[in-house]
Amino acid sequence: MKIGILGAGFIGRAMAALAKQSGHEAMISNSREPATLFSTAAALGCVAGTAREAASFGDVVVVAVPFARIDALPVAELDGKIAIDTCNYYPERDGRIASLDARSTTTSQLLAAALPGARVVKAFNAILARDLEEHGTPAGTPQRRALPVAADDATAKRIVSELMDQFGFDPVDAGVLRDSWRFERAKPVYCIPLDRAGIVAGLAAATRDVELPHGSWRR
């Protein structure tokens, strides 16, 4: 599979590394020129391109940009593509977004609105980058770490769930995009190492108006 990656921060680089380790091809991009990623791409064993090139390249495209930058994504090139939404809303970085503060929508629903032709799947947002690279284990490992997945498109959800399993994590179906608030920033399963049963319980325990102490998930 070809995986395009929009964003070369910690999560983008971790996803590129896991793609390579799992036998996939990856193209990483940032908001600058591909030449700025020459050393990064070489170290990861992937290629670098522009955001438009990475979006066109990927059968699946990872969106790993600051949430405030989703309106700058290549809309036309993502039409029809599976877009993995790893984004999280941090007001101190992204500025205040009224609809998210009012809890009337979710980050993934806003991304889907910004990318009307894409098949958005919320996944890989509820894990720290270093854990993404270090915590994966083979299928069947006792107490294997699990991660939630949400999407409106069942086929896209299945493909991303299979990819998650290849990367070393048990996928847990968390419903459709409107349900994805249950594993957004500061919810009970956000960046907390849990197995499948723990994720299921944490998703059920999530309350829309209640957040964990900010930063408590950073160890």
pLDDT range class, residue 107, cuts 50, 70, 90: very high
* Number of DSSP helices (H) and strands (E) in the chain, helices first: 9, 8
Say if domain 2-205 classifies as CATH 3.40.50.720: yes
- Quick check: 212 pLDDT over 90? no
Q: How much is the average pLDDT of 47-70? A: 97
pLDDT tens for 37-46 read 999 999 999 9
For the entire predicted model, the pTM comes to 0.96
In DSSP notation, the chain reads -EEEEE--SHHHHHHHHHHHHTT-EEEEE-SS-GGGGHHHHHHHT-EE--HHHHHHH-SEEEE-S-GGGGGGS-TGGGTT-EEEE-----HHHH---HHHHTTSS-HHHHHHHHSTTSEEEE-S-SS-HHHHHHS---TT-TT--EEEEEES-HHHHHHHHHHHHHTT-EEEE--SGGGGGGGSTTSTTTT----HHHHHHHHHH--TT--PPTTTT--
The average confidence (pLDDT) of the chain is 96
pLDDT at 85: 98
Q: How much is the average pLDDT of 69-76? A: 96
pLDDT at 75: 98
- Quick check: 217 pLDDT over 70? yes
pLDDT at 159: 98
pLDDT range class, residue 219, cuts 50, 70, 90: low
Where in the chain are the domains?
2-205
DSSP class of 103: T
What is the share, in percent, of the chain residues with pLDDT greater than 70?
100
Q: How much is the average pLDDT of 148-169? A: 98
